[in-house]
Structure 1
């Protein structure tokens, strides 16, 4: 049995393999205290980038770790790309700004207005001769503005520039956006076509989480209506159907029922995740080649998706309702999250009408876990990220995390954005209680970021996603 983990790095001047190596070393604990995690490195034959490698874990369950590297596609970013994107956000009304970043939005607005006022005042004072040129305190304004410009050029541009070009659908950015998405979809498609993997996990950090969301949704378009085993010649399915066995009980009943019962509580989210896993197994048993069981986002700006991916809060909600933006749980269709096939298939002596999950229902079979460092007042923590559930749906499992006590200050600083897998230890007790303690997340002790990430990726959970010939979960069949 094999599984693949695809890691998508975030913004900035990233170097190939740096993100992947640090991630793998955090996911595979060393056998001895102070030891080095052991993994193999081999050429990545699915990528055209010769700097990339596949890192392969050892053990009974083989895991191949891939990196989707996209930083080199962002060359040529100019200050105009960034300023145009920031201006679009700056001019939006308060109702279209997520609550979590309102303090930053207001501070930025007042700062810009103050600078404009100082420039205008200095210009007028000089023009009217109120101050001598040599004694005019506003004569320093060009130097101040120049310093701000250099700061944007050499710091903000290196980081926010990537976000500005990917998130802004201006004509000058379309080619870059499409190339990043197309190459990401091609990698996931190649992993599916390879045929070696029983399970694929996609992990996205920062802007990489937005890319991960996009490419998972786009690839699902190719798989949502593929039930290749539902054919007249399939004697096994015909026998089950003749025995009055329901072939799609999860997709037709239990999954949409679990989605309808989502009320924002931890218990309802966990029950929905159980049905997502069951739906994955059911779809696979009927021949759907989809293999992505989990999307894990860390430090994700998807918490502000209505601001970054839509023109307004109402506009983004409409995109979800129109099924332009996949939600979790998916937007409902005529039959739960899907629709009936146009033509029935004769299974033995009885006609069977398959039900397909619709084109925006990727999260009917793929679980979504989101890790973030809370940022009270939008200032003290990872201001880029936040809870995704309020925006993308109650099926998302949000996990607020921290770091170890002696470095706990990191969890309350902007530096936390790059510390999601900086630790190597962790107590599994908290996350072990997650399935039974309704208040473990909201009121309990927070897990370390690395501990939560290991739990979300769940490298040891591969066997639970492999169906038996009867289409039931392997763990249940063995029990």
Structure 2
């Protein structure tokens, strides 16, 4: 839990960059920057610190080499030296996954993930792992039924969804002479948007991103998202004008998985380089912030894609997705014991924030060397809890204390 003890706050020294990756849902460009910057400013203004806010632009390149202009914001003190600032960058990917997966496909993914989690913890050799998670009584119901309730919800919705959509479509057609504004679009397309809960769209984006079938068009979407995220991170690290002292990557919901996979991919590239990543400036990356994260669930999904007897395939997948994975989750075999991915970004401080009313997030147990922080803002189960991190003052206070204000000690 967060320590709410008040301390005297100073604006952090040095040059810091945050790369924020938004989560699932109908995001629009610069919305993530807006939320994060506004609430970080509120944190410092609440301590009576005069703040200066600037809009800056920089020339970047896409993975295919095409140029584009990035907009980001700079938060600094109105009183301190201009070399002390916090830049907030955004990687935007929502347009790549919006409305590209059906409700039955979402349900199928959730069923597979649930069965993968149950199968993993049902194995005799994994009983000690389950006992460790359930050693506190408060976790028993929470761990066993959290994903199951989400699956039940999706099963029920899958039954009524076609009928709901048909009824809404007919009503829209009958009312079409009287409609205006955002309702002036094809009735069938609009009916999907009206009857589909945000929670289904949330899980749908996760299902698209985590596809393992290389023949699927969704797999290409995942590759594009990761390539663009890594390209932006590299550009931030190598930005000669900003010359950052530290870079922190933060991801909400599915954005946390993109953040993790981006660092994992950077580790692979660093392991392939002759200087072990020094030319990539990986030492500048000091933090990974995940909030509302489904990383554990996705880890189980990928794990179940390799059957127990496919020990070579499983070990290859483990090596390619090995960033901070706990050794106890790695299958013991007499073969392929040396991991070619050597870079683990030991200097990176990983903090995971979660809320008990958020069905997507959770305490991350699959990974090593991270702090799990429970947030306790008042909310309801579902999408409100899943989005509540963005406006929780204690969330920003804790980030500032862990990653920024400690530099003044």
**Bigger CA radius of gyration:** 1
Residue 280 of structure 2 is aligned to residue 298 of structure 1: no
| Aligned-residue offset at 1:225 | 6.4
Question: 2:7 aligns to what?
Answer: none
Question: 2:107 aligns to what?
Answer: 86
| Contact 1:90/1:109 (8 A) holds in 2 | yes
Deviations 1:32-82 (A, max 9, x none): 679985321112433666573333434442221101111122245131xx4
Distance 1:460 1:55, change over 3 A: same
Question: 1:162 aligns to what?
Answer: 205
Question: 2:363 aligns to what?
Answer: 387
Residue 71 of structure 2 is aligned to residue 52 of structure 1: yes
Work out the CA distance in 2 between the residues paired with 1:32 and 1:154: 36
Listed as ranges, the matches of 1:15-94 within 5 Å are 15-28=28-41, 29-31=43-45, 37-46=51-60, 52-58=71-77, 59-60=80-81, 61-75=84-98, 77-79=100-102, 82-90=103-111, 93=115
Distance 1:359 1:198, change over 3 A: farther
Distance 1:410 1:44, change over 3 A: farther
Work out the CA distance in 1 between the residues paired with 2:300 and 2:39: 32
Question: 1:368 aligns to what?
Answer: 350
Work out the CA distance in 2 between the residues paired with 1:11 and 1:166: 10
Deviations 1:417-450 (A, max 9, x none): 11213144xxxxxxxxxxxxxxxxxxxxxxx333
Work out the CA distance in 2 between the residues paired with 1:452 and 1:192: 24
Work out the CA distance in 2 between the residues paired with 1:188 and 1:141: 40
Work out the CA distance in 2 between the residues paired with 1:62 and 1:113: 49
| Runs (5+) with no aligned partner, structure 1 | 120-139, 230-282, 333-356, 376-380, 404-408, 425-447, 464-474
TM-score, scaled to structure 2 = 0.66
| Aligned-residue offset at 1:88 | 3.8
Pick one of 391, 396, 404 that aligns with 1:459: 404
Highest relative contact order (Cα 8 Å, sep 6+), 1 or 2?
2
Deviations 1:328-362 (A, max 9, x none): 26759xxxxxxxxxxxxxxxxxxxxxxxx962542
Question: 1:347 aligns to what?
Answer: none
Question: 1:467 aligns to what?
Answer: none
Deviations 1:88-122 (A, max 9, x none): 43256472378756425544666777899xx9xxx
| Contact 2:253/2:293 (8 A) holds in 1 | yes
Question: 1:323 aligns to what?
Answer: 319
Aligned length: 325
Work out the CA distance in 2 between the residues paired with 1:51 and 1:4: 14
Work out the CA distance in 2 between the residues paired with 1:327 and 1:383: 24
Question: 2:118 aligns to what?
Answer: 95
Deviations 1:120-179 (A, max 9, x none): xxxxxxxxxxxxxxxxxxxx9974685699466464554332222111223121111111
TM-score, scaled to structure 1 = 0.57
Question: 1:220 aligns to what?
Answer: 267
Work out the CA distance in 2 between the residues paired with 1:107 and 1:423: 26
Residue 374 of structure 2 is aligned to residue 400 of structure 1: yes
